[in-house]
A and B are shown apart, each in its own frame.
Chain A
């Protein structure tokens, strides 16, 4: 097992530090809480299945924030917010997943790689800079997200729904990063 020591868009494994529920021991309630039956193969989700109610509502919140296609911010912007928060908090695993999504949906691999290599101060053009700045300001403690961040996003043409998508996407990765970082670790595949 080799842990990655840098951010990248590579696919990593994730190894739990607390025992997951065994696949053949999942209860009916735990299976429902996985939401997607295929997640029974994932050690991460089987570990979270120890608290099935918390897992199910976490997952349904996640899916609506990122996958709901009814207007608002394009998927690429939401994934960028997730990747930026993950880069800033230091979650190499989450950053890899959402950097891949941001790069795919935006078709901007070079910009995403610049965010991973240089960090949240990388120059990605005004719209993405505004999203990264907002996500970082909301993630830092003490929080420093203010009217200037909203004004800058509005100046990029984003409406209330799009800005609320950025806020919820950034906030959600403050949830996801803490679970991924603290309950196990990434490993280089191979």
Chain B
């Protein structure tokens, strides 16, 4: 487990004390500390409830893989090996390779915005990877894939398959927060890395 005084975003960006970006982050101290607290609440909660730590890191490694970025992908892969095992991490890497897409795509409610509809490929995981993940994670990955790449294809019909695969309503909220938080954290890391390298 990571020491309590480390900050994941600082670590992944390579922000060193006294740098310009360290100074900028220090001027938004609550954003800094609560982004880190969000990470801990969603990935390393003291009481994991309906979603195990291994499941959380499996989803995180999958979402990080779909976004790319060497530092972030490496972090979540290593954490998944630690909390879920090397075999699961290898399966997640296969899932990333099989389902990589681009975004944002999706459909608007029928009407004037329909001209902006951009179809994207459906989530298509091979049978061996689906079997290796098991039904709960496979359903969770399908949900994560749509949230990452085409969130405007939202529909209430997306919940029954999750619930049939073992996700409770509380677990669905946690899954949604986890994927959505990662969409934030990964972009902060990517954005700050460019900012730090562009004087």
Chain A interface residues toward B at CB < 8 A: 3-7, 17-19, 47-48, 50-51, 53-55, 57-58, 60-61, 63-65, 68, 70-72, 88-91, 119, 138-143, 145-147, 149-151, 154, 160-161, 163-165, 167-168, 170-172, 174-179, 181-183, 185
Q: How far is the CA of A141 from the CA of B190 in the complex (A)?
A: 12
Q: Is the CB of A151 within 8 A of B28?
A: no
CB neighbours (8 Å) of A51 from chain B are: 41, 170, 173-174, 177
Q: Is the CB of A168 within 8 A of B173?
A: no
Q: Which of B146, B170, B184 has the most CB of A within 10 A?
A: B184
CB neighbours (8 Å) of B170 from chain A are: 50-51
Q: Is the CB of A54 within 8 A of B181?
A: yes
CB neighbours (8 Å) of B28 from chain A are: 64-65, 68, 72, 164-165, 168
Distance of B184 from chain A, by nearest CB (Å): 4
Within 8 A of A (CB), among B16-71: 20-21, 23-25, 27-31, 34-35, 37-38, 41-42, 45, 66-69
Q: Is the CB of A119 within 8 A of B148?
A: no
Q: Is the CB of A71 within 8 A of B27?
A: yes
Within 8 A of A (CB), among B168-186: 169-170, 172-174, 176-181, 183-185
B112 at the interface (CB under 8 A from A): yes
CB neighbours (8 Å) of A172 from chain B are: 184
Q: Is the CB of A90 within 8 A of B173?
A: no
Q: Is the CB of A140 within 8 A of B104?
A: yes
CB neighbours (8 Å) of B192 from chain A are: 164, 167
- Using A3-B109, A18-B173, A65-B28 as known contacts, say yes or no to A138 and B190 having CB atoms under 8 A apart: yes
B108 at the interface (CB under 8 A from A): yes
Q: Is the CB of A147 within 8 A of B197?
A: yes
Q: Is the CB of A57 within 8 A of B41?
A: yes
Choice from A17, A65, A174 contacting B159 with Cβ under 8 Å = A17
- The prevalent SS among residues of A at the interface is helix
Q: Is the CB of B34 within 8 A of A5?
A: no
Q: Which of B35, B37, B67, B116 has the most CB of A within 10 A?
A: B35
B90 at the interface (CB under 8 A from A): no
B113 at the interface (CB under 8 A from A): yes
B128 at the interface (CB under 8 A from A): no
Q: Is the CB of B195 within 8 A of A160?
A: yes
List the 9 shortest-distance A-B pairs measured between CB atoms, nearest first. A5-B111, A90-B152, A167-B191, A64-B30, A175-B184, A53-B41, A171-B187, A178-B180, A64-B31
Q: How far is the CA of A160 from the CA of B156 in the complex (A)?
A: 41
Q: Is the CB of A142 within 8 A of B68?
A: yes
- Using A51-B173, A89-B152 as known contacts, say yes or no to A178 and B147 having CB atoms under 8 A apart: yes
Choice from A5, A53, A68 contacting B112 with Cβ under 8 Å = A5
B198 at the interface (CB under 8 A from A): yes
Distance of B154 from chain A, by nearest CB (Å): 4
Choice from B102, B151, B188 contacting A142 with Cβ under 8 Å = B102
CB neighbours (8 Å) of A174 from chain B are: 180, 183-184, 187
Q: Is the CB of A48 within 8 A of B104?
A: no
Q: Is the CB of B151 within 8 A of A177?
A: yes
